[in-house]
Amino acid sequence: MPPLTHFAGRAGSLAKALAEASTDLLVQPTVRVGVTGLARSGKTVFTTALVSQLTGLHPLPAFRVSQEGRLRRARLVPQPDDAVPRFPYEDHVAALTAERRWPRSTDRISQLRLAVDYERGAGWRSGPASLMIDIVDYPGEWLLDLALIEQTYEGWSRETIAAAQRPGRAAIAAPWLEALRRLDPAQPLDEPAAERASDAFKTYLAALRAGPEAVATTPPGRFLMPGDLAGSPALTFAPLVLAGPVSPDSLGGLMERRFEAYKSRVVVPFFREHFQRIDRQIVLVDVLAAVDAGATALAELEEALDRVLMSLRIGRNTVLSRLFAPRADRILFAATKADHLHHASHDRLDALLRLLVSRSLRRTEAAGARVGTVALASVRATRETLVHEGGHTLQAVAGTPEAGEAIDGEVFDGEAEAAIFPGALPERPEAVLDGAVEPGSLRFPRFRPPRIAPDALGRPGRLPQIRLDRALQFLIGDRLA
């Protein structure tokens, strides 16, 4: 397969790129925002909260168009891609506000379009204007699959098996590696054997996801989130120990053929139809879960973020690049669930995230893209308080832990509130990577969404947030100037 930048690799979408770019430049300004992140990072909540804040015209102090009173109206309108599932915003906002439960996680691509009416800032272009914001929500695991496009089956197998033998993974991988040793790539093609090998590999990937690493950077991403491809042959393959070329009629030949089918029928269409058309990208990261899991999880997260940046098409856009090689020119990494910490630790959380992506930042910024980091809570589930313990006054957070959450032996019923001292992150982010925080020493229970009461006129109440407005300003503020 030629490199991703090869013109022929994008021929099928050139007409669409030309039409979209011409419309944006000449008819209706549009910005396409990608929302992604690894498992349990809060993608669905972020997209729901973003739409709720904009359509509700709620005050957003750090979002300049809102702070200056220039935001007139924001409304949902029919999306441009009829073949892409619509993001079920209404169901998700009802789950948050009426049922006080978190909406289900992102397991497929979905889309919304917002029409935003605003007043331009002072100057010769002042006056009313509108901007279409296309929000594309997709699992981060699919993003990591883009690295497969330029890999061979043999190279992917070798890399995946080597990663499974690392000290932090060996115990989790042991059952799969044992099953792998019993497979001969040269044996005759055997469909049941292929299915058993694939199932064993998927069980290993699921164990990685459920284990202390929690981020599972090993592609294929669709193995854990198959969507409408569940059970298809394109998702029925696994790595094998190869000693050289394999016969097309062998088990190894079957696996190699299906690996190539996965790339051509799943990964490349995702890149061509969706990913290469994104203008701005936010990557949501559950840094706190990795901190609490220990050094191995942090190393895994750092590797995952580096792979994310390597997969992104980034750089400064020109008129020609918009037509022939569109790029994402702003990338925002967001550490979610900042409401689980007292605000005194928010800067430390942001600094830790920036450290995790630091080795990739220079490469990204050298390509002309702007890269930012922020610690946020799309929906704030806690409030800050003080607790007294052992003669000390501690900065704590209070909220309603989910039913079944346990803290210091107390199991919560989902109704009672609790004030919790979560612990504090070290001043130096490097100290976290050096093991200064003992695994399990921090308290990060899952809290229920906050209780949202309607206002005096019966209108829906506002979802509280932390720095969601800063994220909006970074991602689209310049397009509403």
* Nearest of 152, 158, 133 to residue 75 by alpha carbon: 133
The DSSP call for residue 104 is: P
Task: Measure the CA–CA gap between 153 and 219, rounded to whole angstroms.
Answer: 12
How far apart, in whole angstroms, are the C-alpha atoms of residue 384 and residue 340?
10
Find residue 9's DSSP bridge partners: none
Query: For the chain, how are helix, strand and coil distributed in percent, rounded to 5?
Result: 45, 20, 40
182, 100 Cβ separation under 8 angstroms: no
pLDDT below 70 — which residues of the chain? 1-26, 211-217, 313-326, 363-367
CA separation for the pair 480, 217 (Å, rounded): 36
**Three-class secondary structure of residue 76 per DSSP:** strand
Output the pLDDT for position 101: 96
pLDDT at 442: 85
How is domain 12-138+274-380+467-480 classified at the architecture level of CATH?
Answer: 3-Layer(aba) Sandwich (3.40)
> Which residues is 306 bridged to in the sheet?
none
pLDDT tens-digit map of 326-357: 578 899 999 999 999 999 999 999 999 999 98
pTM of the entire predicted model: 0.87
**Helices 295-311, 358-366: inter-axial angle, 10-degree rounding:** 10
Q: Which three-class secondary structure state does DSSP give residue 399? A: strand
* Residue 53 phi, psi (nearest 5): -65, -40
User: Where does residue 95 fall: left (phi above 0), alpha (psi -120 to 50 degrees), or beta otherwise?
Assistant: alpha
Q: What is the pLDDT of residues 190-212, one digit of tens each?
A: 899 999 999 999 999 988 877 65
What local confidence, expressed as pLDDT, does residue 363 receive?
65
**Residue tagged 């990208």 (tokens):** 281
Pick from 161, 137, 125: nearest CA to 89: 137
Residue 424 phi/psi, 5-degree rounding, is -130, 145
Which residues are bridge partners to 141 per DSSP?
Answer: none
Residue 310 has what pLDDT?
Answer: 73
So what's the pLDDT on residue 97?
93
pLDDT at 454: 78
- Taking the domains of the chain in order of start, what are their residue ranges? 12-138+274-380+467-480, 147-269
Quote the distance between the C-alpha of residue 296 and its chain's center: 20
CA dist 239 and 241 (Å) reads: 7
